[in-house]
Amino acid sequence: MKLYGSITSPYVRRIRFLCLELGIPFTLVDTMTETGQKELREKNPLWKVPYAEIDDVKIWDSHTITDYIFETKGFGNLRSKTGSHHYRETNLQTAIDQALDNAILLFYLNKEGIKPDAAPYLTKNALRISSILDYIKRELNGHFFFTDGKTGLSEMALFTTLDWIRFRSVLPVEEDPVFVSFLNFHGQNKSWKETAPK
The predicted model gives 47-75 an average pLDDT of 96
43, 73, 103: which is the final residue of a domain? 73
In this predicted structure, what is the pLDDT of residue 170? 93
In this predicted structure, what is the pLDDT of residue 83? 87
pTM over 0.85: yes
- Residues above pLDDT 70, as percent of the chain: 100
Q: Does residue 198 form part of some domain? A: no
40, 73, 106: which is the final residue of a domain? 73
- Taking every pair of Cα atoms in the chain, the longest distance, rounded to a whole number of angstroms, is 46
pLDDT (tens digit per residue) in 144-194? 999 999 999 999 999 999 999 999 999 999 999 999 999 999 999 999 999
What band does 82 get if pLDDT is binned at 50, 70 and 90? Answer: confident
Residue 157: Cβ-neighbour burial (10 angstroms; 0-12, 13-18, 19+): buried
pLDDT at 55 over 90: no
Assess whether 127 and 188 both reside in one domain: yes
d(CA 90, CA 95): 9
Alpha helix segments (H runs only) across the chain? 10-22, 34-43, 62-73, 86-111, 120-139, 153-168, 177-186, 190-194
Assess whether 58 and 121 both reside in one domain: no
Q: What is the CATH number of the domain that holds 35?
A: 3.40.30.10
What band does 8 get if pLDDT is binned at 50, 70 and 90? Answer: very high
pLDDT (tens digit per residue) in 9-27? 999 999 999 999 999 999 9
In this predicted structure, what is the pLDDT of residue 17? 98
Q: Does residue 78 form part of some domain? A: no
Assess whether 59 and 105 both reside in one domain: no
